[in-house]
Amino acid sequence: MARAALSADAVVDVALRLIDEEGASALTLAAVASRAGVATPSLYKHVRSLAELRGLVSARIMDALATRIGAAVLGRSADEAVRALMTAWHGYVAEHPHRYSALVQAPGPMVEQAGERLIGIMLAALRAYDLNDTDAVHAVRCLRAAVHGFSVLVAENAFQLDQKLDETYELLIHMVISGLRTPPPRG
């Protein structure tokens, strides 16, 4: 990459290619600078620190995830929307396991906007279940935990039994949808 073409977006592009090829642990300023063909101090004109770069990378990943899920649920509602959401999310992780592992899970200012967009999509997908605001937030959290947990375990090759993973994921989707149709317990 020519030095003149370097920008914050270009640095993120290089960082994402590095993550795709070598994994999230390979993300360092020195590695990104080397791939960009510049000295590490030259990166500081575009990103202030590795933490900022991780935030920019996470925002890009979260935005891509929200875009994919938004397209998948568009025009769908209730069970069909939840199935599409879960399938799209899991598909993204399967296609980009290293990128997804680089996603900073705790929201920060750079990831917040894309995260809010994703939450809005999830809430819209759940609207047909007629949940009150509190129950909708709980449902979004449960949905995120189910998809994230399963997808990360698959990406890390953590399931070793012979049963087919796609059948397990179909059961998970069924369980989530069934749970959404059942009124939540009141304590």
| Residue 42 forms part of a structural domain | yes
The answer as to whether 54 is a domain residue is no
> Is residue 70, in this structure, part of any structural domain at all?
yes
- Using pLDDT thresholds of 50, 70 and 90, give the confidence band for residue 1: very low
Domain range spanning residue 38?
1-48
pLDDT, tens only, 93-110: 999 999 999 997 776 777
Query: pTM for the complete prediction?
Result: 0.90
Coarse DSSP helix, strand, coil percentages of the chain, rounded to the nearest 5 percent: 75, 0, 25
Q: In this predicted model, what pLDDT tens digit does every residue of 126-182 receive, in sequence order?
A: 999 999 999 999 999 999 999 999 999 999 999 988 889 999 999 999 999 999 998
CATH code of the domain in which 21 resides: 1.10.10.60
- Statement to judge: residues 18 and 103 lie in one domain: no
The percentage of the chain sitting over the pLDDT mark of 70, rounded to a whole number, equals: 96
For 65-91, write each residue's pLDDT tens digit.
Answer: 999 999 999 999 999 999 999 999 999
pLDDT at 3 over 60: no
Indicate if 44 and 63 belong to the same structural domain: no
For 25-45, write each residue's pLDDT tens digit: 999 999 999 999 999 999 999
